[in-house]
Amino acid sequence: MTDLSPSPGAEPGQQSALRPQRGRWVSGLAWRLVYGVYERQLERQVRAQPMPGHIGIILDGNRRHARETGLNDPDLIYQRGAAKLDDILAWSVDLGVRRVTLWVFSPDNLRRSDAEIGGIFGAVETKMRALAADPHIHRRGVHIAAMGRRDLLPSALLDAIDSAEAATRGNDQITVTLAIGYGGREEIADAGRAFLLDCANRGLSTAEAAAQFSPDAIQRHLYLADMPDPDLIIRTSGEVRLSGFMLWQSVHSELYFCDINWPMLRRIDYLRAIRSFQRRDRRFGS
């Protein structure tokens, strides 16, 4: 055991200075032990119930975290947020979650400064290239996908995303989808536009196209038409709204909002969100 007492030769002033440091160390250790016990208990509860098949996450709070920690460099701010993806992957694979969709960038974010937009795009590009070459990704069976308006993204980022998709295409244990250049209203509008173009290509009249217009028709023209709807949507940072995330697909999703900022999300927070989902009575409108 580590000896925390001051050395016999320490001066009285040195001893008094050591006491608060020792107290903080012991207090921190006690909290870590308590949280460790709680996390293991929480994990047992979660593993005893069915897992959500698809979890959507709104990655909010990067800028709040930066302000709280005194971080000013946009590149470093969003690199820290991108690094959290590694934790989400590890936690999801370990729990048996089969699909995770992460909202990375929306068309509304284009109103931010060039430096901030560049920080986001640069962090995602670096992370995509790293994931494509990471042997752990292939051992875990991670498949990378993306959805959104590609015309909003720079070519270097598109190349990195395409490379990650191609490198992981044969993996089938978990699919991680980046919603980037993505907005829910834009997706629905694009689906309607695609439906009308399809009708025009088939030579249908306006009346014939209108007769075929239905929820199923919109579903077939979404960015990823075969993607199952999210069972659970998590938003970090304390904001209590979807802000346009998967508007069409979230009609029956369970929602969970947590106060912690995205870069500081802990495994215990992820487990709490899943436990909250497991405790809800899902009736799908019936």
Active site residues per annotation: 60, 109
HSE-up of residue 285 (Cα within 13 Å, Cβ side): 4
Cβ-contact 155, 185 below 8 angstroms: no
For 47, residues 6+ apart whose C-beta sits below 8 A from its C-beta are 95
Q: Tokens 């929306």, residue? A: 106
Closest-CA residue to 52 (of 250, 225, 263):
250
Strand 142-147 and strand 99-105: pairing? unpaired
Q: Give dist(CA 94, CA 273) in Å, integer.
A: 16
Q: Give dist(CA 249, CA 282) in Å, integer.
A: 15
